[in-house]
Structure 1
């Protein structure tokens, strides 16, 4: 949809402008070696270096640590980040940062590491009760009161796009649900995106992270247009999740095209460096897109799927606790969700399917949902995903609980191109139980 099409039917009560926010990005093999110079240029002298136990053992992490020290910086390392963070792990990281008193942060790892560094930076810089900044209605949704310390994010998975967004996601253990903190202040100052980091990733991890990217792009592209969002009371109150806009459309389309060409190759052949590099570039593009447009139904549903898991333990991930990886929990909902949202803008859903590689030459708009959903299911099969929520332990008896768990994600559901209530969520969850 072009900018002019977005503007069709403008209403004076709706927004007429969109804002583009993005971190400074350096992309390319070996760029992790720039982190010391970049940190010093941002004024860092004492750096909190965040990672997780697995990444801490990699040569890439050693390279980052060495570059920081060679730049003359004092480095304090926090290597206890949890895979799929929780409120408890965020609190522990914030306590470390408060005690360490750094003047800047560097995160080397996947979205869990980057999100944890964001949260630690926030609570160490602007102390408050934990729920204060957590998205409403689960938390207070209090605005971040001021700027944070500089943060350089160095992603090691081609998936979350966290290096270019102001969002930090975690499991709220007491509520058995995922939620997050969202503010432009959380967006990292810079991102160093080094595809070398993906060369040793297991295929299962590349699949989950890459499918998260795919849904970021699809959800951003099909989100409610920014011209259908109420105009903000003041410019600074315009939300990060503005809805689909010409800027986010550019990133979404290119990310979808890259994933259609390279994702299956990146998953199935670990020696295909071109495919892994292009998948990582797609992740950055989609991160910029959804950081400005927002995601919607599949991600809102994913929080309940991940939060209510009972026994499922995926290959390629730590098996110390039940886990549905974030990208898996998102994509399992996506075909069922897009079957429903296609009615809002069939042409846009067909365009998205075409960018992903589906043959849409003879498709009619009435079939848009089925065309996109069917192509997604084919990609999922090609990269070894479960064939629906039933394969990760859910049954029809769980549908009501899953819908109730997803419905509080109003920040996301309000971005959908259709109105969503619990009954509709239950219908979509039921449709996602099996694609076999």
Structure 2
């Protein structure tokens, strides 16, 4: 499809989204949705830790009462790895369900996405993993129905076209992205998040906040080169007026409700609005994209040696995704603030900074301080040093971040090896 040579930059906003059912008790409509889709045999991919709260058994009853045959896979790894994903794929290829249901956080939903992809189409992980780490092949065609029921308010994975996984030998996180990966339907029931403990709630909530801020400050869609063929348009197109609406609202809800959700886990109003914030941010960044904090998060999570986060039921070192993102955010946004000070100043004001009468550049710099204050309030570690990193880790952290070119291109300010080293150094300790 030839483009007008007089329009060298992008002019089209491509917004893809997922149908949503939101509200207290929305899980009860799962059976109806399966029947509506004509599903007779489904696989439930679940976080096994949810069994202690009765959530897995509740969904099993709902599905079977709808006359749908159900199998359950609950060997999901917190922060999926290539090893855990391949084990899950093998199970899906063996059982070949007609549809997938996922119940859990982003790890569970992403695992179900991978099971769906690789039980529908042939191939290995490396075939679809984003370049330059993988081959970045496009997904050949549509997948089977997938209904996602999130139990955390964080990744927004129920709305996104991305699978994130940890490559163990390379010690780096990466992803697979394609619009066919996006779930068929999201059922968002805030009651499913009540069992989420405080630090898990905090880390997931910070992921929401970073999704929204990074998307809102990302390099605009209309400064990118125009695509010759719509099929070549990336999933992440840059900030745009449509995604901005979703992300700005998500930031407002995080500012108002994240502290309440952490300090009072049974606050249904706070849980409901954080669930909405997660979904809104997912719709926003799922189209516009993230940038430096998320790119930096992948090696931070992948190179962990001895950090065990509170409230996470794990038997191996782990930096939860939301923590690996927010730990870099103050330093990263201080770096990007000069590139788009008006946007950064606006976010600072939403987070509670009194910016009236303040020079816009000073207000933009205040965003980093507002995020640091929220981190301190919610007990987030004081920089990378408290996760076990030091100056000697800088080369590896920078190298791992440079591999994330898919999202680094969304930064409003160009960033390379030298700049990333400075940002990581600034993120070592904050207060």
**TM-score, normalization by structure 2:** 0.97
**Gap regions ≥5 residues in structure 2:** none
- Aligned counterpart, 1:190: 185
CA distance in 1, matches of 2:245, 2:364: 22
CA distance in 1, matches of 2:393, 2:330: 19
**41-50 or 188-197, larger mean C-alpha shift:** 41-50
How many angstroms does 1:11 deviate by?
7.6
Q: What secondary structure sits across from 2:163 in the alignment?
A: strand
- Aligned counterpart, 2:346: 351
Post-superposition Cα deviations, 1:122-157, rounded to whole Å, max 9, x if no partner, equal 011001022000111111000000000010000000
CA distance in 2, matches of 1:362, 1:274: 34
Are 1:427 and 2:418 matched, yes or no? no
Q: Do the aligned residues in 2 keep the contact of 1:311 with 1:322 (CA within 8 Å)?
A: yes
How many angstroms does 1:344 deviate by?
0.8
Match of 1:69 among 61, 64, 75: 64
- Aligned counterpart, 1:261: 256
CA distance in 2, matches of 1:400, 1:364: 36
Q: Do the aligned residues in 2 keep the contact of 1:44 with 1:103 (CA within 8 Å)?
A: yes
Q: What secondary structure sits across from 2:133 in the alignment?
A: coil
**185-194 or 41-50, larger mean C-alpha shift:** 41-50
Post-superposition Cα deviations, 1:26-77, rounded to whole Å, max 9, x if no partner, equal 1101111111111121121110110122023332222211111111111111
Q: What secondary structure sits across from 2:355 in the alignment?
A: coil
Are 1:298 and 2:293 matched, yes or no? yes
CA distance in 2, matches of 1:394, 1:192: 38
CA distance in 2, matches of 1:407, 1:11: 33
The list of structure 1 runs, each at least 4 consecutive aligned residues, that deviate by more than 4 angstroms after superposition, is: none
Q: What secondary structure sits across from 2:174 in the alignment?
A: strand
How many angstroms does 1:396 deviate by?
1.4
Match of 1:248 among 243, 248, 252: 243
Q: Do the aligned residues in 2 keep the contact of 1:342 with 1:368 (CA within 8 Å)?
A: no
Q: Do the aligned residues in 2 keep the contact of 1:103 with 1:149 (CA within 8 Å)?
A: yes
- Aligned counterpart, 1:152: 147
CA distance in 2, matches of 1:282, 1:57: 26
Change (3 A) 1:11 1:66: farther
- Aligned counterpart, 1:329: 324
Q: What secondary structure sits across from 2:246 in the alignment?
A: helix
Change (3 A) 1:72 1:116: same
Q: Do the aligned residues in 2 keep the contact of 1:262 with 1:278 (CA within 8 Å)?
A: yes
**Gap regions ≥5 residues in structure 1:** 1-9
CA distance in 1, matches of 2:394, 2:133: 21
Q: What secondary structure sits across from 1:149 in the alignment?
A: coil
Q: Do the aligned residues in 1 keep the contact of 2:345 with 2:365 (CA within 8 Å)?
A: no
Q: Do the aligned residues in 1 keep the contact of 2:293 with 2:325 (CA within 8 Å)?
A: yes
- Aligned counterpart, 1:19: 14
CA distance in 2, matches of 1:362, 1:435: 27
Q: Do the aligned residues in 2 keep the contact of 1:261 with 1:357 (CA within 8 Å)?
A: no
Q: Do the aligned residues in 2 keep the contact of 1:341 with 1:369 (CA within 8 Å)?
A: no
Match of 1:310 among 305, 314, 320: 305
How many angstroms does 1:409 deviate by?
0.2
CA distance in 1, matches of 2:167, 2:6: 39
RMSD: 1.2
Post-superposition Cα deviations, 1:281-302, rounded to whole Å, max 9, x if no partner, equal 1101000000010000000000
Aligned residues: 427
How many angstroms does 1:271 deviate by?
2.5
Match of 1:48 among 23, 31, 43: 43
Are 1:281 and 2:276 matched, yes or no? yes
- Aligned counterpart, 1:3: none
Q: Do the aligned residues in 2 keep the contact of 1:157 with 1:206 (CA within 8 Å)?
A: yes
Match of 1:232 among 214, 227, 230: 227
Q: Do the aligned residues in 2 keep the contact of 1:32 with 1:60 (CA within 8 Å)?
A: no
**121-130 or 156-165, larger mean C-alpha shift:** 121-130
Post-superposition Cα deviations, 1:271-328, rounded to whole Å, max 9, x if no partner, equal 3221111111110100000001000000000001000011000100024000010000
**358-367 or 93-102, larger mean C-alpha shift:** 358-367
How many angstroms does 1:113 deviate by?
0.3
Match of 2:399 among 385, 404, 407: 404
CA distance in 1, matches of 2:28, 2:54: 12
Are 1:101 and 2:117 matched, yes or no? no
How many angstroms does 1:236 deviate by?
2.4
CA distance in 2, matches of 1:420, 1:269: 39
CA distance in 2, matches of 1:74, 1:376: 47
CA distance in 1, matches of 2:54, 2:242: 36
